[in-house]
């Protein structure tokens, strides 16, 4: 059972729709009890970092999430701010992150970005996976995803990087540490490429 964490942020319905179409059972968690039967956890998010942390910490699910992810090692996928929350901190705010990665969230350096449009990084960009396995299995070589952000996830250990994208500088747009996964782009809004990635996650 895929469980989508509903703490009031992000497009939970879009994920549920995709999994239903794939015939993969899915449900929402609004309390710690709802998380218990998760085989896989999806942590979405659209919002500012501090607001997202405040909502998650106030949801009553924080303790259960830490336990399921860190001790029971259930696969978890953070998306956009859901990914960024897995870091220790963010340039966007002052709240402490979940700290599931040895990583910080930084603001893009605008001076490095070519062209008249700078930030946010908005639109469809190509994604270069380190290997065509794991989350990026069966994605073909035309895979592109929708990005919408001004801050990026900077892991301290290069081994955590699963895929990169280029915006001014190359940055980690997908990361993995054991059972913990994060993607900066929006697979739920990236047509067939996103559907394939979410299917891959469900199969881990």
- 181-200: contacts with another protein (CB under 8 A): 186, 189-192, 194-195
Candidates 62, 150, 177, 204: give the one binding another protein (CB under 8 A).
Answer: 150
Catalytic annotation on 191? no
**Which entry of 40, 80, 149, 173 is annotated as an active-site residue?**
80
Nearest to 47 by CA among 118, 148, 195: 148
Q: What value does the CA radius of gyration of the chain take, rounded to a whole number of Å?
A: 16
Candidates 109, 132, 166, 169: give the one binding another protein (CB under 8 A).
Answer: 166
- 46-105: contacts with another protein (CB under 8 A): 46-48, 51, 81, 92
Please report whether residue 120 would count as binding another protein according to CB under 8 A: yes
Residue ranges binding another protein (CB under 8 A): 8-14, 17, 46-48, 51, 81, 92, 110, 114-128, 141-142, 144, 146-150, 165-167, 186, 189-192, 194-195
Instruction: Give catalytic residues, as residue numbers.
Output: 80, 186, 188
């Amino acid at each position: 059972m895929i469980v989508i964490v509903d703490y009031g942020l992000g497009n939970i319905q879009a994920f549920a729709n995709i999994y239903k179409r794939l015939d993969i059972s899915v449900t929402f968690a609004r309390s710690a009890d709802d998380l218990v039967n998760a085989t896989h956890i999806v942590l979405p998010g659209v919002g500012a970092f501090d607001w997202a942390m405040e909502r998650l910490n106030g949801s009553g699910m924080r303790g259960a999430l830490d336990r399921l992810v860190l001790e029971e090692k259930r696969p978890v996928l953070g998306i956009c701010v859901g990914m960024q929350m897995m870091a220790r901190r963010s340039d966007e705010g002052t709240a402490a992150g979940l700290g599931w990665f040895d990583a910080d969230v930084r603001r893009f350096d605008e001076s490095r970005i070519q062209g008249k449009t700078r930030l946010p990084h908005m639109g469809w960009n190509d994604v270069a996976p380190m290997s065509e396995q794991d989350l990026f299995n069966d994605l073909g070589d035309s895979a592109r995803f929708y990005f919408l952000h001004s801050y990026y996830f900077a892991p301290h250990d290069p081994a955590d990087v699963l895929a990169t994208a280029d915006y001014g500088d190359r940055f980690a747009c997908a990361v993995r540490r054991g059972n913990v996964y994060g993607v900066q782009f929006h697979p739920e809004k990236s047509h067939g490429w996103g559907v394939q990635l979410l299917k891959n996650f469900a199969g881990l």
